Amino acid sequence: MNPRQPKRIVFLTGTRADFGKIKSLLLKLHSDPAFELHLFITGMHMLTKYGYTCEEVEACGLPNLYRYINQNESDNMDTVLAKTIVGFSDYVKETRPDMIVVHGDRVEAMAGAIVGSMNNILVAHIEGGEVSGTIDEVVRHAVSKLSHVHFVANVKAKLRLMQLGEGEETVHVIGSPDMDIMVSKNLPDLKTVQDYYEIPFADYGIVLFHPVTTAVHELADQIKIFVDALIASRRDYVVIFPNNDDGSGIIIQEYRRFKGNRHFRVFPSMRFEYFLTLMKNAAFLIGNSSAGVREAPFYSVPSINLGSRQFNRATAPTIINAEFDKKTIVQQIANSRNIARVQTAHFGSGGSDVKFCDVLKKPEIWTVSRQKYFFDLIAEAAE
């Protein structure tokens, strides 16, 4: 790489969750003169209902930020995808990046990968090759097939991408970038977090529950049972709104039953570092969020995983799987006190930002062919 000609890299962020996962990468590239960083902010970040978290992104002091509203409350996922493609395409034509970086399995990531691949721009995908459950898994694999370079959390993810026909030399194992922040010594202390959010609980669980878009017809019954069980357990809870997938309004409507109940504090969103501190000190996490099968086990925090959303994803001794039955959920909440706190680290242990930056400094990354080919493992095995 020629340091006098920095590579222009555009990241796309659509949710509080994906920003937390790419934040360390953004800060690392921003500090390196070999790169010119740009950030396209859209999705949930732009919605007041979910905390208007674009302001938290901007507070990080990163350069070249661009806000784009890609949805209203009545839009379905396909409409959001279409709107994001239109807006991001115009933005890319003005910015002319050398690389587009997308993360995970949201429709905004798919939009970014579509725009990049259709315009012969190098696309890098963070955390491909994982199983996500529901429509998210389909989106994640589709994003991987539209991408040219892959940065994955572990060897299993790399092997899955190779099963999808991706070339081994394009897949780089760097760990999950959110681990960089999880192991940081700069996380706020618990008192700071509790004072900031006015959380009075000493012993609390965290509630994170999202819609399963492929089973949204079951959601009303499921969330009623879940809320019934939480109230019946008489434990203290910090409740965070779901993502904005189809059906989120049903969940938020049911959460109104917590109003006036001293056992619950409900928030549309929460700063990522503050959330990590809160989770690290929680008695348990309950719901169907990936945080229960990824981040919580790393902190040795018990998690109660409900339903099918995380089906076939990572396992750990601290994870309890349960179906939607009030009595069962209440019992598992009680049982969580007896779970041994052992750490499980399937997704690295920090340093992803350095590994990511090191890969981008290799000249061969920038010469990866925009014309993709399917690398057939079956054909190789047959030879």
Strand order in the sheet with 35-41: 65-67, 35-41, 7-13, 99-103, 122-126, 149-152, 171-173
The DSSP output letter for 182 is H
Q: What is the pLDDT of residue 327?
A: 97
Helix (H, G, I), strand (E, B) or coil at 178: helix
Identity at 297, one-letter amino acid code: P
314 or 26, which is more confident? 26
Strands (E) in 109-241, as ranges, are 122-126, 149-152, 171-173, 204-208, 236-240
Specify the pLDDT at position 347. 81
Q: CB neighbours of 184 closer than 8 A, spacing ≥ 6?
A: 273, 350
Q: Taking residues 31-47, report their average pLDDT.
A: 97
**Residues 269-292: tens digit of each pLDDT:** 999 999 999 999 999 999 999 899
**Three-state secondary-structure class, residue 56:** helix
Cα–Cα nearest to 361, from 30, 31, 29: 29
pLDDT(42) > 80: yes
Q: What would the mean pLDDT of 16-23 be, rounded to a whole number?
A: 91
pLDDT at 307: 86
Out of 72-76, 155-159, 316-320, which region has the weakest mean confidence (pLDDT)? 72-76
Is the Cα torsion angle 70, 269, 325, 328 positive or negative in sign?
Answer: positive
- Quote the CA–CA distance of 99 and 370 in Å, as a whole number: 11
Count of alpha carbons within 13 Å of 175, Cβ hemisphere only?
A: 22
Q: What is the Cα–Cα distance from 145 to 33, expressed in whole angstroms?
A: 30
How many Å is the Cα radius of gyration of the chain? 21
Q: What is d(CA 257, CA 222) in angstroms, rounded to the nearest whole number?
A: 15
Higher pLDDT, 203 or 312: 203
Active-site hit among 103, 172, 217, 346: 217
Question: pTM here?
Answer: 0.90
- Mean of the pLDDT values across residues 6-22? 94
Domains along the chain with CATH numbers: 7-181+349-382 (3.40.50.2000), 190-338 (3.40.50.2000)
Tens digit of each residue's pLDDT (9 = 90 or more) over 206-246: 999 999 888 889 999 999 999 999 999 999 999 999 998 88
Q: What is the pLDDT of residue 215?
A: 84
Q: What is the pLDDT of residues 308-318, one digit of tens each?
A: 777 667 688 99
Which residues are paired to 265 by β-bridges?
A: 238
Give the pLDDT score at 381. 62
Do 227 and 257 form a contact (C-beta atoms < 8 A)? yes
The pLDDT assigned to 346 comes to 80
246-270 as b/e, with b when 16 or more CB fall inside 10 Å? bbbebbbebbeebeeeeebbbebbb
Express each pLDDT in 101-129 by its tens digit: 999 999 999 999 999 999 999 999 999 99
Beta-bridge mates of residue 233: none
Let me know if 103 is a catalytic residue.
no
pLDDT band at 294 (very low <50, low <70, confident <90, very high): confident
Q: Residue for token digits 């709104």?
A: 241
Q: For the chain, what is the mean pLDDT?
A: 93
- The answer to whether 335 touches 235, Cβ cutoff 8 Å, is no
Is the pLDDT at 133 greater than 60? The verdict is yes
